[in-house]
Amino acid sequence: MSTINFTREGVTFSTEQNITILEAARRAGVTIEAPCNGNGTCGKCTVRVGGADVLACRTEVSADIEVQTVDSEKHNSTLRILAGGKSFEYPLKPYVSKAFDGSVTKVLAGGGVIGEESGDTTGALYGLAIDIGTTTLVAAVIDLNSGESLATVSRLNPQAKFAQDVLSRIHFASEPEGLATTQRVLLEALSEMTQEMTRSAGISAENIYEAVYSGNTAMLHLACGVNPEPLGRYPYTPQIAGAEHIPARGLGISPFGIIYLPPIISGFVGPDITSGVLASRLYEQSESVLFIDIGTNGEMVLASHGELAATSTAAGPAFEGMNIACGMRASNGAIESFAINDDGSTDIGVIGGGSDTVGICGSGLVDIAGELVRTGAVGKTGRLTPKDNPHVFVQEDGKRAYRITDNVYFTQNDVRQVQLAKGAIRAGIEALIQRRGLTVSEVDRAEIAGSFGYHLNEKSLIEIGLLPREFAGKVSFVGNTAQSGGVAFLLNCDFREKMKEVVGRILSIELADDKEFEKLFVASLNF
């Protein structure tokens, strides 16, 4: 029998098995972030045992030990998450309404009665628009009578502690215990966010009657408690189709509340993109417009003369700061922008201001890679070269790195991670454009969506080759359209049938087993 004492949490756990510290922590209810789901690749589950730092996922417990975990909430409390995105004007026509008959108020959904309340409560009619991202959560409480947003909150998706990227999350949740865990922690977080918003707005959560879930296909499966296992293998078939309602259990809203799931495009192009297509009105564009949501997945839709095609590529977690030596999320102390001046000096932007740096977030990562490529410190094939550059040094393991500040650096392996991530997205762009019989120069506009994408800049994206040089001057950053599109679904129910029709005619292109895509990916790795 071995006893593990998690000192910071004041929790003791005993086991007769030789299990890892990470597994012991999960059984004991102690949170240790393990974005790679214990594969030993992200290096983020470091804990202190006997004065030494070890990886919790790689350290087995065979005797009594004391474990000191890292207080990740210190940085997560300052996470910068974008709540809003591009939208447009539309008439107010919510799916949920109320009618007072002189004694009771009937709550209606699609014209049918779903509940009754005593007295006249017609003035209290609210809904939730929720963006369930792989990494972050954004929620807004909306007055359905006026269309006004009363409060918005955001936080880290707690599921990311168990598995950072989509495929790892699918694997984790394919087992009954994993699925139950991911749904439970998500609903707890959404319920807490709802309570926070209602307190801020001075309203009752019992007067919230409908929520709209935007999110990728896998996240919606987990939110609904549906096993995502088929999404992890060919032909990646979703178990839910969207364009439907489910009961709003676990959200802490009205007892007869409902959740609307927007139409799902494919196994890896979900309702977050459906909401983005709505918010950007891609289905109405006469030009050729490429819509890209850059994150752990690169989901994209090409609209050309009224016809839409969609695909997705697995970019991996590098842009979220994972698998990067000094990588971190976008919170205080993170380098978010970087530029090398003609005289060799650098301009560094740090979240929270000041000069104290903790690590590198996604936008800083792209800037750093772009500037090193532009100045020749990183060659075409991705090799970090000294080239009389005093910032380049050799680490103890013999690998080269580029020193950004005294405690933050960019390694040769980091370069490779950026290459893999940007190569996947660029290959997806090339494949999608080719499948539609176009060339990159024939694309009139490119819209970059998402919280991460909003903080990028066109120059760096082109320098690293994530976007073609032909896109120069054509790029716009449209923000969190998953959220703004979700609000549109909530406030005008006519969009639900419209987008069901639009999604029904989107050509879904699966690239995972396409040999031509493999060739494009290899060709897209170079800078």
Is residue 83 situated within a structural domain?
no
Q: Is 46 helix (H, G, I), strand (E, B) or coil?
A: strand
Q: Report DSSP state, residue 210.
A: E
Those residues with Cβ within 8 angstroms of residue 175's Cβ, 6 or more apart along the chain or in another chain: none
Q: Are residues 333 and 406 in the same domain?
A: yes
Is residue 472 situated within a structural domain?
yes
| Closest of 286, 263, 258 to residue 276, by C-alpha | 263
Q: Are residues 377 and 504 in the same domain?
A: no
CA-CA-CA-CA torsion for 333, 334, 337, 343, nearest 10 degrees?
Answer: 60
In contact, 212 and 254? CB cutoff 8 Å: no
Dist. CA 475–CA 98, nearest whole Å = 43
Q: Are residues 370 and 335 in the same domain?
A: yes
Q: Are residues 257 and 118 in the same domain?
A: yes
**Strand 288-294 relative to strand 258-261: parallel, antiparallel, unpaired?**
unpaired
Three-state secondary structure along 94-106?
CCEEEEECCCEEE
Q: Are residues 107 and 251 in the same domain?
A: yes
Tokens of 511: 């690239």
Taking the CA of residue 288 as centre, how many other CA atoms within 13 Å lie in the half-sphere pointing to its CB?
Answer: 13
Specify the amino acid at residue 50: G
Q: Give ∠ CA 73-362-398 in degrees, rounded to 5.
A: 95
End-to-end CA distance of the chain: 54
Q: Are residues 412 and 432 in the same domain?
A: no
CATH code of the domain covering residue 280: 3.30.420.40
| Closest of 408, 425, 417, 431 to residue 462, by C-alpha | 425
Q: Which domain holds residue 199?
A: 96-268
Q: Is 207 helix (H, G, I), strand (E, B) or coil?
A: helix
For 334-411, where are the alpha helices, taking DSSP H only? 362-375
In contact, 474 and 462? CB cutoff 8 Å: no
Question: Within a 10 A sphere around the Cβ of 118, how many other Cβ atoms?
Answer: 8
Strand order in the sheet with 104-109: 96-100, 104-109, 112-118
Is residue 80 situated within a structural domain?
no
Q: Report DSSP state, residue 263.
A: P
Per-residue pLDDT of the chain (527 residues; tens, 9 = 90+): 888 888 887 888 888 777 888 888 877 777 777 756 566 666 678 888 877 778 888 888 888 888 888 765 544 444 545 567 899 999 999 999 999 999 999 999 999 999 999 999 999 999 999 999 988 899 999 999 999 999 999 998 999 888 877 888 999 999 999 999 999 999 999 999 999 999 999 999 999 999 999 999 999 999 999 999 999 998 899 999 999 999 999 999 999 999 999 999 999 999 999 999 999 999 999 899 999 998 778 999 999 988 999 999 988 778 877 789 899 888 889 999 999 999 889 999 999 887 889 999 999 999 999 999 999 999 999 998 876 677 878 776 778 899 999 999 999 999 999 999 999 999 999 999 999 999 999 999 999 998 777 788 899 999 999 999 999 999 999 999 999 999 999 999 999 999 999 999 999 998 877 788 999 999 999 99
Q: Are residues 290 and 382 in the same domain?
A: no
Dist. CA 125–CA 108, nearest whole Å = 11
**pLDDT score, position 35:** 59
Last residue of a domain, one of 417, 449, 481: 417
Q: Is 224 helix (H, G, I), strand (E, B) or coil?
A: helix
Q: Are residues 131 and 255 in the same domain?
A: yes
Specify the amino acid at residue 185: V
**Residues 450-470 as b or e (16 or more Cβ within 10 Å = b):** bbbbbbbbbbbbbbbbbbbee
Dist. CA 299–CA 453, nearest whole Å = 12
Q: Are residues 296 and 335 in the same domain?
A: no
Q: Is 307 helix (H, G, I), strand (E, B) or coil?
A: strand
In contact, 266 and 235? CB cutoff 8 Å: no
Dist. CA 516–CA 520, nearest whole Å = 6
**pLDDT score, position 77:** 47
Tokens of 405: 């500040």
Tokens of 469: 């040089």
Cis peptide before 235 (omega within 30 of 0): yes
Q: Report DSSP state, residue 50.
A: T
Dist. CA 426–CA 445, nearest whole Å = 16
**pLDDT score, position 36:** 63
Residue with tokens 């490429």: 290
CATH code of the domain covering residue 37: 3.10.20.740
Tokens of 377: 């410190």
Q: Are residues 117 and 220 in the same domain?
A: yes
Residue with tokens 């307190």: 199
Is residue 460 situated within a structural domain?
yes
> Judging by beta carbons within 10 Å of its beta carbon (0-12, 13-18, 19+), is residue 100 exposed, middle or buried?
middle
**Is the CA virtual torsion 232, 234, 237, 239 positive or negative?**
negative
Dist. CA 247–CA 259, nearest whole Å = 6
Those residues with Cβ within 8 angstroms of residue 203's Cβ, 6 or more apart along the chain or in another chain: 124, 126, 141, 150
In contact, 369 and 380? CB cutoff 8 Å: no
**pLDDT score, position 75:** 46
Q: Are residues 450 and 506 in the same domain?
A: yes
Dist. CA 391–CA 341, nearest whole Å = 14
Tokens of 122: 């017609």
Q: Are residues 240 and 120 in the same domain?
A: yes
Last residue of a domain, one of 402, 417, 432: 417
Q: State the total domains in the chain.
A: 4
DSSP run (H or E) holding 353: none
CATH code of the domain covering residue 253: 3.30.420.480
